[in-house]
Amino acid sequence: MASSAEETAADWVEYLNRLLWLDKAWVSALFLARKPCNRFIATHPHLPVDNRGSQGDLGGVPRYQRDLEDLPDPEWVAGFLGLLNGFLGPGLGGVPRIAALLDSESGELERFVLTSELVPDEEVDEAPGEG
C-alpha cells in the first residue's frame, strides 16, 4: 500500500504532466530554473539544492553525503521541483519522490515521473539512520 506522501506525489506527477502537455514552454521554464538561496535553505534536511560554486554541481548527492562546511565559495541554487520534493519529504533511501525526465540530446523537459518507478526497491540503499 502506498503512503500518503507517495499518493500525493503521484497526484502531483499526473497534474504536472497535464500542465506540461498544455504549455511545455512555461512548465519547462518554471521547473528548469534555479535561483540562488542561502545556507539555511542549502542545509534544509529535505530540500534538494545544487552548488554552482567552485566545486561544481552537487545535485543528486544525498544530503547525508554532503559536507557543506568544507565547500569553498558555495553558490547554492534551488528550483521549484526541489521545493516540491522538500515538501513531500524523501522517499525510500532519501531519494526525492518526483523526477523531471529530460531529453538526452535537447535537454528539454519531457515528463515527470515518480522516482520509485525508475529504480527497483531492492537497488535503493537506505540512508544512514534509516531502517
Q: Provide the whole-model pTM.
A: 0.73
Per-residue pLDDT of the chain (131 residues; tens, 9 = 90+): 567 888 999 999 999 999 999 999 999 999 999 999 888 888 888 888 887 765 444 554 444 445 555 555 678 889 999 999 989 988 777 777 899 999 999 889 999 999 888 865 454 444 434 44
Q: Beta strand pairing status for 50-51 and 35-36?
A: unpaired
What is the structure's pLDDT at 22? 97
- pLDDT on residue 71: 58
- Give the pLDDT of residue 60: 47
Specify the pLDDT at position 3.
74
Among residues 86, 9, 78, which one has the least CA distance to residue 46?
86
Write down the domain spans for the chain.
4-103
In angstroms, the CA 83 to CA 67 distance is 21
DSSP secondary structure letter of residue 67 = -
